[in-house]
Amino acid sequence: DGEPASAWMAYGLQDVLTLRQFVQDSNADPAHKRVEHHKLESMLGLCELITCRRHALLAYFDEDSSQRCGNCDNCTNPPEKWDGTVATQKALSCIYRTGQRFGVNYLIDVLHGKTDERIQNNNHDQISTYGIGNDFTTTEWRSIYRQLIALGYIDVDTEGYGALHLTEKCRPLLRGDETIDLRKQTKQEKPDKDKKAATLIRPQDQTLWDSLRSLRSELAEQFGVPPYVIFHDATLHEMIKNRPLNTTDMAHISGVGKQKLDRYGQQFISEIASHPLPPLLDNRLSDTVNETLMLYQQKISIDQIALKREIKVTTVYTHLADAIATGLLPVFDVISLERDEYETIVSLMESFANDEQSRLKPVYDALDQEVDYGVLKCIQASI
């Protein structure tokens, strides 16, 4: 819908195991299986990648791109690598010593030296890899095994019991002729969608935005469709920008066709009508200025606004000065000076007008520093 979007993928060891078995167990002919297998390898490779994902994706489709897109998770938050050679040797040896007949959970129990009847019956508490893996947690071992499977060092059995066995690729690693870097497992923060969307919405539009979205959700539920089928976010943005109050204006919003206009138009118009935008707030000033103007609009005093927003009184005046400068606010609404006092200050300012840079400082001094800088800014803005 033309809006910035984020995609995130969650995958774990179980997915790797299931997908591999899925390909192996399918009834497809060997040639088709090889193609599917290759596709799976490429996808797992992409998941475990520690370099730019966009670069890798485009390279897969034979397209050139810069080495770093600056936008994918690996670019914005480069994964830490660690030398996983010793851990890998332990993980692989454990598969080998237990006869390549067991799944990940069992192998990790052996590495942790767990007292378990099954392990004892198999005499796996007697083997050299029993209890040599206590430097890693179960989660960490699962991550190591997942990467080794994805990287093709380990294969999953065809019978579907999830037993792991070694591939030819393991030999140099087990002999110590090769080292391996693994990706450090980090907790990924879920991208904060609301925060991103909020930055596109002016503070004075926030309540209308929220109610248009909840109206959309209600309708979506009522008609049993996803919300974007009712209206895209981009359409709601345009409604907020243009605030159509009748069907003619509503019809001009892109994404509002004849059918949608008939079906939902009136409800959205009513919602917009119940959130009128005061002329003062109909501006393109910055968010922080508008936060101040919203409070000012509610007849809250300048001192109270400063307290509420935890900013200086002078800053509040500076914000109001922006509104005065754009003609949204009469200066005498803001400052409590008599007309002649105001005129005096204006002529003072004009007399210092050559001194462009620091015009206010000499005025401030000439007034014995008794008039707030912010008030001076408001007066300056009104000239």
Binding site residues, Zn ion, CB under 5 A: 52, 54, 69, 72, 75
Structure token digits, residue 195:
């925060």
The closest of 124, 123, 86 to 108, measured between CA atoms, is 124
Q: Which is nearer to Zn ion, 52 or 285 (CB)?
A: 52
Token pair for residue 22? Answer: 């899925």
Nearer to Zn ion, 74 or 143 (CB): 74
Tokens (6 digits) for 100: 């390549």
> Which string of b and e fits 174-203 if b means at least 16 CB within 10 Å?
eeeeeebebbebeeeeeeeeeeeeeeebbb
Burial class (CB in 10 A: 0-12, 13-18, 19+), 149: buried
Tell me the closest approach of the beta carbon of residue 72 to Zn ion, in angstroms. Answer: 3
- Token pair recorded at residue 359: 């015009």
How, if at all, do strands 181-183 and 164-166 pair?
A: unpaired
> Between residues 47 and 371, which has the closer beta carbon with respect to Zn ion?
47
The minimum distance between CB 285 and Zn ion, in angstroms, equals 35
298-324 burial: b if 16+ Cβ within 10 Å, else e: eeeebeebbeebebebbbbbbbbbbbb
CB of 47 to Zn ion, least distance (A): 14
Q: Indicate the residue among 66 and 158 with the shorter CB distance to Zn ion.
A: 66
CB of 180 to Zn ion, least distance (A): 23
Contact 191, 77 (CB under 8 A): no
Rounded distance between C-alpha atoms, residue 195 and residue 177, angstroms:
49
Smallest Cα–Cα separation from 3: which of 168, 232, 214, 340? 232
Closest CA to 230 of 218, 248, 247, 245: 218
- 54 or 319: whose CB is closer to Zn ion? 54
Least distance CB 312 / Zn ion (angstroms): 42
Are 145 and 107 in contact, with CB atoms under 8 Å apart?
Answer: yes
Which CB sits closer to Zn ion, 57 or 328?
57
In terms of CB distance, is 61 or 365 closer to Zn ion?
Answer: 61
